[in-house]
Chain A
Amino acid sequence: DGGITQSPKYLFRKEGQNVTLSCEQNLNHDAMYWYRQDPGQGLRLIYYSQIVNDFQKGDIAEGYSVSREKKESFPLTVTSAQKNPTAFYLCASSMGTEAYGYTFGSGTRLTVV
């Protein structure tokens, strides 16, 4: 079945450490997105990519980095520069046109220990 897979489901980061969250889709979608969700809050866009080898900053890109070397993959690195990384991270993908909704992964919960 086609879908979007995020891993791991739970991740623990020590202070000063970089961690990478995986996002893979087999839906042949052009566009991919990373969102951050804090408890009881809405979604905030971190980065997005509309095509391979190209990506743009969202509203809260500081302390994060991404790559888009393959259409299927859009990993997110949370760097040590992100001072408050504890959150629920959601990856999504979509066809490029506005008539299509997003398909979301099941999320990664990152906790700083």
Chain B
Amino acid sequence: GDSVTQMEGPVTLSEEAFLTINCTYTATGYPSLFWYVQYPGEGLQLLLKATKADDKGSNKGFEATYRKETTSFHLEKGSVQVSDSAVYFCALRGNTNAGKSTFGDGTTLTVKP
């Protein structure tokens, strides 16, 4: 079945550092890929998405590129801020599995001033 593997956290960075959170997936067919962000005590928010190979999703300075050859969708940001501290979830959604999404376990990011 479908699966998503994220790099284990927690990740701690200083403000203005470069961020990479790795995400790889296993799926049949050609799924869409997503990153969600969850701030403490809140629900998840869709951060960005890509629906086909080589697409780049971007939002709020975050980027991720759909790499079919390496089955990856790594999240990057050039300069993190304290306000980026949150839990980040990688997910896929395909046309199998009854259209349900498969989520990774989440990666906790803490940014220190």
Contact = CB atoms under 8 A, between A and B. Distances in A.
Interface of A: 6, 31, 33, 41-43, 45, 48, 50, 56, 90, 92, 96-107, 109
B99 A31 contact: yes
B29 to A, nearest CB: 9
Contacts of A6: 43
Interface string B50-93: 01000000000000000000000000000000000000010101
Contacts of B100: 33, 45, 48
Contacts of A41: 105-106
B103 A96 contact: no
B24 interface: no
Given A48-B100, A90-B44, A101-B46, 11 more contacts: A42-B103, A43-B103, A48-B98, A92-B44, A98-B99, A101-B36, A102-B36, A102-B44, A103-B46, A104-B44, A106-B43
A50 B43 contact: no
A43 B51 CA distance: 22
A107 B105 contact: no
A42 B46 contact: no
Contact of B49 (A31, A56, A101): A101
Contacts of A97: 95, 99
B43 A104 contact: yes
B25 interface: no
